[in-house]
Structure 1
């Protein structure tokens, strides 16, 4: 066994461990110290950067990370200041860490994990995990990934905003206290940075790395990441239910419905589409 092969095996095992820890985030009970929650919450982010690096190269992964952080932070800062992007809302001090221009920068890292997971799902369904996406296919795959991210927001925003009050809508909204405006803003913002990522993936060096043989199970890891989000949402009432009142549990039940009957079918479609990718041995 060559040193390169051993390195690949270690990397694959490390990604499986990070993926397992990402699923474990669903079992963090209410009242857990913020430091622990933060560490567990960063597992999908670390996984995404590592997996992305193996998929398309370190430069593409980090440039994509930067695109997500810059675009999403700019959108959030404008949204908080003007109310035009997502609606009239603000972040209180504390729940999500320190604020910069009214926005907690740490949340941008989580957006990258969501974006990468959504991109894996969309490119799997689109049949372009190992090849380039160009023209209308690029636009369509980007839009599908943006819808996949917006579905996650649809399933989780009322819990985080209305129940946990990690961000607060000043005027409320028709969807469990969240304005519908928010989801349109979320879709178009995510579409912007996903289109940038797709352009980065079409660079010659990135395409050469994408086309390289990958270990068996590599693509499965990428698509499974998306499942960590509905899994966490669906387990919320079971793990944290005793800490909240009846109104909160009503919202939790609704979120479980969205996760199971909207998010999970998209995830399953991506998993089934992996059959079309030729398996590579370790």
Structure 2
């Protein structure tokens, strides 16, 4: 079965998503160049999440997009809330007071980041494994966890959270990535249930053809942009530079972004 790819730049919500993505790139670049990058962290996350929702709304409709985003935010927040109290499923860690506002000790933007990148990882997984739901959920969970190879080292540098005992990957324990895989799998399931099956066109809100089926090119672009920017930042922008994180995160995220785009190029 072949799934069609959208052309979001031709529709208002797609244009909005592209504009928000461009703004996020500008904010991310400014964040990397500023002596106090933490001031723009929340701005980057908000723009990322808003861009993801706009792209999904263009593809699946505003109601489904809002539902999927809310579900992923809820799952991410619940996992973080339980995590800082029990050490499950990520390991023993705690947030500092740097990111505000917080709810129950969890920064709100952290939950928003789960939502935004969750939608992007799901789109990538949809391109890779469109026909098998379980394979799609597994691929999406791995794609989202791949992003954390960048996220955790970066956030530790900024002093946003601390690990009780540290770990072998730039101070991050391996239990963290096991927890990410488990939570991300739930996130992928929730997106499927709320946004609907990608192989079923969604009726348009009014006259005109149904919304397209298949993954959102805008969301795959968002995932790919994050992969490229994080790789460049750790390799050449951040001080001190970290080639290990640049290589590990770049290869891991690229392993999902490249096959997703190869599907787009097929005739």
User: For the superposition of Structure 1 and Structure 2, which TM-score range results when normalised by the shorter chain?
Assistant: 0.7 to 0.9
Q: Given the alignment of the two structures, is residue 159 of structure 1 paired with residue 154 of structure 2, yes or no?
A: yes
1:178 and 1:70 map into 2 onto residues whose CA distance is 24
- Deviation per residue, 1:220-279 (Å, 9 max, x gap): 3221110122222122243332xx4xxxx3xx22111013322123211101111347xx
Counterpart in 1 of 2:187?
193
Q: Given the alignment of the two structures, is residue 93 of structure 1 paired with residue 93 of structure 2, yes or no?
A: no
1:181 and 1:196 map into 2 onto residues whose CA distance is 23
Extract unaligned runs of 5+ from structure 2: 1-8
Q: Given the alignment of the two structures, is residue 107 of structure 1 paired with residue 104 of structure 2, yes or no?
A: no
Are the equivalent residues in 1 in contact too, given 2:67–2:195 (CA < 8 A)?
no
CA RMSD of aligned residues (A): 2.6
2:37 and 2:216 map into 1 onto residues whose CA distance is 34
- Deviation per residue, 1:86-118 (Å, 9 max, x gap): 101000002x21322221122111111111110
Shift of 1:201: 3.1
1:10 and 1:100 map into 2 onto residues whose CA distance is 34
Q: Judging changes above 3 Å, is the alpha-carbon distance between structure 1 residues 99 and 272 closer, same or farther for their aligned structure 2 residues?
A: same
Are the equivalent residues in 2 in contact too, given 1:119–1:145 (CA < 8 A)?
yes
Q: 2:144 aligns with which of 136, 140, 149?
A: 149
Q: 1:49 aligns with which of 49, 53, 78?
A: 53
Superposed, 1:27-42 pairs within 5 Å as 27-28=29-30, 29-32=33-36, 34-42=38-46
Are the equivalent residues in 2 in contact too, given 1:125–1:269 (CA < 8 A)?
yes
Are the equivalent residues in 1 in contact too, given 2:120–2:223 (CA < 8 A)?
yes
The worse-fitting range, judged by mean Cα deviation, of 49-58 and 26-35 is 26-35
Extract unaligned runs of 5+ from structure 1: 1-6, 278-282
Are the equivalent residues in 2 in contact too, given 1:201–1:207 (CA < 8 A)?
no
2:42 and 2:147 map into 1 onto residues whose CA distance is 19
Shift of 1:70: 1.3
Are the equivalent residues in 2 in contact too, given 1:26–1:231 (CA < 8 A)?
no
Shift of 1:172: 0.9
Look at both structures and tell me which one has the larger radius of gyration over its CA atoms.
1
Q: Judging changes above 3 Å, is the alpha-carbon distance between structure 1 residues 57 and 88 closer, same or farther for their aligned structure 2 residues?
A: same
Q: Judging changes above 3 Å, is the alpha-carbon distance between structure 1 residues 209 and 140 closer, same or farther for their aligned structure 2 residues?
A: farther
Superposed, 1:124-139 pairs within 5 Å as 124-126=127-129, 128=130, 137-139=132-134
Superposed, 1:1-282 pairs within 5 Å as 9-28=11-30, 29-32=33-36, 34-94=38-98, 96-126=99-129, 128=130, 137-161=132-156, 163-202=157-196, 207-209=201-203, 212=210, 219-237=216-234, 238-241=236-239, 244=240, 249=241, 252-276=242-266
**What is the TM-score of this pair, normalised by structure 2?**
0.83
